[in-house]
Amino acid sequence: MKKRLILVLLLVFCLAPGVCSAGEAAQSTKALLEKAKAEGKASFYANITAIEPVLEDFYKKYGVKGEYTRISTAKFVATAITEHQAGKLLADVLQAPIPIMDILKDRGVLGAYRSPAASGYPEWTRKDDAIQMFGIEYVALIYNKERVKPADVPKRYEDLADPKWRGKIVMAEPSTHTTTISWLVGLKEQVIKSEEAWMKFLRGLAANKPMFVASFSPTPAPVESGEKLIALSMPKYILTKAPAPLE
């Protein structure tokens, strides 16, 4: 499973037309590999961390150097579209949240490609001819366990609308952070029972005046320091920031 995930990460996603057209993408893996070796590298734009082992494995298997550029979610669309319109999109492969990929496909940035590395993946993971889903990241509440009593920890997302959390929440700026927008829409579609209840939650959350930061990455710091008590963030930070008092 680990090997398959590594290959899907680097091969499945979306090849920019400026680098590989839809017709070329239909060629055999061997032909694509020959072209990659001729170019000498494969450039990868993404917004994930701990990518070095993936690039090393890719080089060992294919003999092609992988070059990784991390681009924040907030800047991803602007960067890719600007380069594409200038005819200078440097990335061969793009990885980003689904809403970003949808925008890039609608703007003609993405080419079609079906990777054999994804042949064992469920059909629902293949969104269309250009976008392959390969993983899920979780968004949750993380809190300062030294400052929030166990009895006060929110049990539902709607609890964040409680006025007692006014000025005590940090989250990514929803007007610019695509993943936060997706998460909020996901709550409406999958978690909160009605649109009326969802709007009540949004209004209550807004009334509590959260601190806005650029993305998920900066959200744990104010909670770790005690400046804020709760972050809309990712559970992985509980591990990566240990021994911070996060739960």
Question: Are 119 and 200 members of one domain?
Answer: no
Question: Are 37 and 118 members of one domain?
Answer: yes
Q: Is residue 130 part of a domain?
A: no
Residue 179 burial by CB count (10 A; 0-12/13-18/19+): exposed, middle or buried? Answer: buried
Examine the fold and report which residue of 125, 149, 182 is the final residue of a domain before the chain moves on: 125
Q: Is residue 171 part of a domain?
A: yes
Question: Are 201 and 97 members of one domain?
Answer: no
Question: Are 201 and 102 members of one domain?
Answer: no
Question: Are 230 and 198 members of one domain?
Answer: yes
Domains: count for the chain: 2
Regions of the chain where pLDDT drops below 70: 1-28
Q: Is the peptide bond before 99 cis (omega within 30 degrees of 0)?
A: no
pLDDT value at residue 158: 94
Question: Are 58 and 114 members of one domain?
Answer: yes
Residue 205 burial by CB count (10 A; 0-12/13-18/19+): exposed, middle or buried? Answer: buried
Parent domain of 164: 140-240
pLDDT value at residue 28: 59
Q: Is residue 115 part of a domain?
A: yes
Q: Is residue 245 part of a domain?
A: no
Contact (Cβ atoms closer than 8 angstroms) between residue 24 and residue 113: no
